Structure 1
Amino acid sequence: MYKILIQLTYRMVPALATILDIFDTLLSKIIGTSSPVTKRIENNFKRILTTELFTPEGETLFRPTFQKLKLDLNQVCEKWDLVESIDWFENVLDYNVPHGKLQRGLLLVNTFKALANNPTEEQIHCSRVLGWCGELLQSCSLVADDMMDSSPLRRGRPSWYKVDSVGMNAINDAFYLESSVYYLLKKYFGGTPVYTDLVDAFHETTLKTIFGQNLDVMASKKKLEDRFKMESFSRIAKYKTSYYTFVMPLRLGAILAGLKDSKLYGKIETIGLLLGNIFQAQDDFLDVYGDPAKTGKKGTDISEGKCTWLICKAMELADHDQRAILEQNYGKQDDESVLIVKSIFQELQIDERFRQYRSESMDKIRAQISSINGRNIRLQAILKLLVERLAI
């Protein structure tokens, strides 16, 4: 009975939310503030929708689609008389794609559910296909990124290029992962009104991510006085992380749902970029302060001289002597230099500075989410829960 009530509520929310928005507008003109009745009803909707959209069952429903897509990709090899390649590329998929948190794919699916008007099971399945396309693109980026950074581990296991018999073949495998996206897009969405917009979104996101990766690499080649500025970190975070981690799944979910509201697309991008900035800063923080047993990799940002939030903030705060020590030791491969940098971070209380920055950033993001039109209650619920998870 409870599940039936949830489904009925889920299907009724678009109409009810519209009524709520009109009611709230009229009442606010009378009493000069947002209606407490409307707020209470909206909060009830958010609790119901959060229960429906964010459960372990959501991931359980999402995962089987990957197995179906593997069969689709295997059929390409069969069609082109490349049966001997099936085992290799199936291993590429199994090793690299389904082992992360699946945040991007699930965010896309839930965004679609939030914005679509009474979606069918077939439409929800297509959103899962699209979600896995996002995960394939993510895997392509990680395979390439690990090679460029010489990272030995990814998610607690050897990086793909470090696996026996793979090596430089990982370059070709990264191409395969990206190309698979466009094969699946054509198979499942070719001929539909959204196909061109979906392809454009993937192409644009890929190009921006490539630019972000280049910014990350080139940062280490700049003069020391220009290398570690907060604006440099923000640009890297924007292009390397924000677009494909947050903006892309939100945008793709909206496209698939048939959203035509250009203002809401702009709001989605603004929120996605803010989320990406704090997400990258948090990743930088965990690289230095995280437990490798939990993060699945040993931190290498200091030894590799990466332009991170931590070093940029440290260079802002450091006095002349501290700056000289950082410049002398940051980016060196020996453990002693890494420990010296960490000691300066400790003197400057970088960990506490980060926590303060994260709290302030989350408040800004929450304010942006609250400004979304009341007709999109479910989208607000998704974004607020996403913020709560990042804030943990």
Structure 2
Amino acid sequence: MCEHFVLSKFPLQGEFLIYAYESLEEPENITDEMLQQAYCLACVSETFQSYYLIQDDVYDNSKMRSGVSSWHLQPYASAMAMNDTCILRSFVSEILRQNIKETFYTKVIDTFNEMYLVMEMGQVLDLYFAQSKSYDDFTMENYDKMSYMKASYYCMNSPILFALILCNKANEESYKLVLDLFNDLGVFIQIHNDFTECFDVGESMSKKSTNDIENNKLSWTAVVALQHFNTEQRNIFNECYGIPNPEKIKRIIQLYEEVNLRQLFKEEENARYNNFLRKVQNLPATATPAPDFFMKIFNYFKSYASDSSRFYYA
């Protein structure tokens, strides 16, 4: 299962965690022993994400993930797929138990437990909105809340939280700062996925077969398009969205083109970036993490968003 899935997907969490640790830590403290702790956390973070994404593919009936067939479609997985995810979750706990030093163990476990809770609640919201036939629920407020839980917390926040723990800089103040500043960037990961999977623009971050339209998903594309539709377009959307029919899916994408969703995506990207930069500029020089750290992460993130292909394993 790990060979099929964990090693075939984007290693964002692992790469990001190690980068954050090396950026936050004093050079003299980056010993072989501490790097081993960072690599262990990077490994289990990737495994944790696989646990979640395999479940997500089952719920969405996705055919592809990370450029390979989804795990639940493998003949040796099938109905066992959900049980397999439980094995992955237990695997995470066992690796942590065997490898993480007692100094860090409690904070690491607490952070993983919070990740489980936040992501599972995000999955509840995702499934709830997909079952709702009221597109009045398709608001940016609901989208931001769901995307924070489903994507932002574990994609952007958790690698930095783990890095703070390893550097002995984890406290309530630093946690709050990370959760506040990285929310826009984390939600943008989901926005980027929604957009690229719908329009097939280059490489989507997940390389997942998209079925947001036919599954009636609360996606960024749907939320923003609804804000710009006229009455006739809204009626067509109501008739076609959430129906697994190729012609109706094609019509929805045509509607997205009619409201110039590509340009709206660029505007959204700039707005999210500018909001992040504004918050960083307002930070005191004594903040932990420091303003220059947030700028390093911002530049790292932008390189990922502009060319995600380089983040594949060789």
Q: Which of 87, 104, 116 is the aligned partner of 2:13?
A: 104
- Is 1:165 paired with 2:76? yes
Pick from 59, 67, 73: which aligns with 1:156?
67
SS in structure 1 of the partner of residue 217 of structure 2: coil
Specify the alignment match of 2:100 in structure 1: 189
Please say if residues 271 and 368 of structure 1, whose CA atoms lie closer than 8 Å, have aligned partners that are also in contact: yes
* Kept in 2: contact 1:208–1:239 (CA 8 A): yes
Indicate the SS of the match to 2:2.
Answer: helix
- TM-score with structure 2 setting the length: 0.90
Shift of 1:370: 4.0
Tell me which moved more, 262-271 or 158-167.
262-271
Gaps of 5+ in 1: 1-91
| Residue type of the alignment partner of 2:298 | K
Alpha-carbon separation, structure 1, partners of 2:219 and 2:240 = 15
Q: State how far apart, in whole Å, the 1-side matches of 2:135 and 2:203 are.
A: 35
C-alpha deviation, 1:354, in angstroms: 1.0
Q: Which residues of structure 2 form unaligned runs of 5+?
A: 307-314
Aligned twin of 2:302: 388
Distance (Å, rounded) in 1 between the aligned partners of 2:292 and 2:24? 7
How far off its partner does 1:293 sit? Answer: 7.2
SS of alignment partner, residue 76 of structure 2: coil
Closer, same or farther: CA 229–146 of 1 in aligned 2, 3 Å: same
Distance in 1 separating the partners of 2:229 and 2:292: 44
Quick check: 194-203 or 107-116, which moved more? 107-116
Aligned match for 2:293, one of 376, 379, 382: 379
Which deviates the most, 110-119 or 287-296? 287-296
2:187 maps to: 277
Misfit runs of 4+, over 6 Å: 292-295
Q: Is the 8 A contact 2:54 2:71 kept in 1?
A: yes
Pairing 1:121–2:32 present = yes
1:272 Cα offset (Å): 2.5
In 1, the alpha carbon distance for the partners of 2:235 and 2:7 equals: 44
1:240–1:296 CA distance, 2 compared to 1 (3 A): closer
SS of residue paired to 1:182: helix
1:240 match? 150
**Counterpart contact for 1:362–1:391, Cα < 8 Å:** no
TM-score relative to the length of structure 1: 0.72
Please point out which of 237, 240, 247 is paired with 1:336.
247
- Mapping of 1:190-205 within 5 angstroms? 192-205=102-115
Q: CA offsets per residue over residues 175-230 of structure 1, 9 Å max, x none?
A: 1111111111111125x222111100000011110010110011022242433111
Q: Take 2:179 and 2:91, find their aligned partners in 1: how far apart are those partners?
A: 26
Shift of the 209–314 alpha-carbon distance from structure 1 to 2, 3 Å rule, reads same
Q: How much has 1:134 moved relative to structure 2? A: 0.6
> Do the aligned residues in 2 keep the contact of 1:247 with 1:268 (CA within 8 Å)?
yes
RMSD: 1.9
Q: Is residue 13–residue 159 contact of structure 2 (8 Å, CA) maintained in 1?
A: yes
CA–CA distance in 1 between the matches of 2:58 and 2:131?
Answer: 18
Greater share of helix: 1
Write the distance in 2 (CA, Å) between the matches of 1:219 and 1:298.
Answer: 20
Task: Give me the identity figure in percent.
Answer: 23
Distance in 2 (CA, whole Å) between partners of 1:125 and 1:372 is 32
Q: CA shift at 1:231, angstroms?
A: 1.3
The Cα shift of 1:390 comes to: 4.7
1:178 paired to 2:178: no
After superposition, where does 1:238-317 map in structure 2 within 5 Å? 238-291=148-201, 296-317=207-228
Q: C-alpha distance in 2, partners of 1:273/1:136?
A: 23
Shift of 1:95: 1.1
CA distance in 2, matches of 1:252, 1:210: 20
Q: Distance in 2 between matches of 1:261 and 1:379?
A: 17
Pairwise CA distance, 1:171: 1.1
Provide, for residues 337-389 of structure 1, a one-character-per-residue CA deviation record: whole Å limited to 9, x for no partner. 01111111111111111111111211212233344554636623531223322
**Alignment partners' CA distance in 2, 1:200 and 1:367:** 31
CA contact (8 A) 2:125 2:146 kept: yes
